[in-house]
């Protein structure tokens, strides 16, 4: 259900075609709410059916047209109402932590391999998050630029400050994961053979 709010969040920046949404989503909102295209496209259809979005055909190339989605008043109202609702808190549910708690059941070499994979993922992801935050800090991120073009200056500033706040949390989390993975690798080495 949160996917529709993630999509509403993105579409408050500007009207977009399905393709723009897919591309824009992966460079911005996906860092806080990941979803594959296979969920995004059907959700856009449902949101249009539910009156949260409308679409119009816009020219595409010389002969063709594409559907461009706009948030409706009802969409904005639904997004604001959701933002003001109490947060439903999710408890821990991450296989990396489930496995970490039971590494005594794994082959040490398999454990090392998994930890190295996790480390690779978090290193890449940290770089991506830091790169995205840099584009928010210098106000060059394309989604933010689109938003700033139609917001009064103070509101644009608010938007930038809150997006950066989210990335500060994501980056701190990625660094904690990396330090913890290194601890895990050191622990497997220490305990291997005992
Ligand atoms: C926005 C721009 C959001 C850049 C982002 O991630 C981002 C936005 C949540 O203005 O909606 O990286």
| Residue 13 CB less than 6 A away from ligand 1 | yes
We report the CATH number of the domain holding residue 29 as: 1.10.10.10
Please report which confidence band the pLDDT of residue 31 belongs to, taking 50, 70 and 90 as the band edges.
Answer: very high
Contact predicate 163/82, CB 8 Å: no
| Residue 32 CB less than 6 A away from ligand 1 | yes
pLDDT for 1 equals: 77
Average pLDDT for residues 72-99, to the nearest whole number?
97
Token duo for residue 76: 């904005």
Among protein residues, the one whose CA lies closest to atom 11 of ligand 1: 10
Show Cβ contacts of residue 40 under 8 Å, excluding neighbours closer than 6 positions: 3, 7, 18, 21, 22, 25
Which domain covers residue 119, as residue numbers?
A: 95-191
Whether 90 maps to a domain, the answer reads no
Q: Does 41 share its domain with 79?
A: yes
Show Cβ contacts of residue 96 under 8 Å, excluding neighbours closer than 6 positions: 118
Q: Which of 143, 162, 171 to mutate to test the pocket of ligand 1 (most atoms within 8 A of CB)?
A: 143
Q: Does 104 share its domain with 76?
A: no
- Phi and psi of 72, rounded to 5°? -90, 170
Show Cβ contacts of residue 125 under 8 Å, excluding neighbours closer than 6 positions: 174
Using a cut of 0.85, tell me whether the model's pTM lies above it: yes
Whether 74 maps to a domain, the answer reads yes
Among protein residues, the one whose CA lies closest to atom 9 of ligand 1: 29
| Residue 44 CB less than 6 A away from ligand 1 | no
Number of domains in the chain: 2
Task: Among 49, 84, 119, give the residue marking a domain's end.
Answer: 84
Whether 32 maps to a domain, the answer reads yes
pLDDT for 193 equals: 75
Ligand 1: nearest atom to the Cα of 10:
11
Q: Is the dihedral of CA 28, 29, 32, 37 positive or negative?
A: negative
Q: Does 65 share its domain with 136?
A: no
Q: Does 101 share its domain with 13?
A: no
In the numeric block, the tokens 């400050």 are attached to 161
């Amino acid at each position: 259900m949160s996917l529709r709010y993630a999509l509403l969040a993105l579409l408050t920046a500007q009207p977009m075609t399905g393709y723009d949404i897919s591309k824009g989503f992966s460079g911005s909102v996906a860092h806080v709410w990941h979803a594959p295209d296979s969920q995004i496209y059907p959700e856009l259809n449902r949101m249009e059916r539910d009156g949260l979005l409308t679409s119009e055909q816009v020219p595409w190339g010389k002969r063709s047209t594409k559907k461009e989605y706009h948030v409706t008043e009802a969409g904005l109202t639904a997004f604001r109402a959701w933002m003001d609702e109490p947060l439903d808190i999710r408890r821990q549910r991450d296989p990396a932590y489930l496995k970490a708690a039971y590494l005594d059941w794994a082959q040490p070499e398999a454990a090392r391999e998994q930890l190295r994979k996790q480390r690779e993922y978090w290193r890449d992801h940290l770089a991506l998050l830091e790169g995205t935050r840099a584009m928010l800090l210098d106000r060059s991120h394309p989604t933010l630029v689109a938003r700033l073009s139609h917001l009064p200056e103070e509101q644009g500033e608010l938007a930038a400050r809150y997006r950066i706040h989210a990335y500060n949390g994501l980056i701190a989390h990625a660094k904690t994961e990396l330090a913890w993975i290194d601890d895990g690798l050191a622990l497997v080495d220490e305990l291997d053979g005992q």
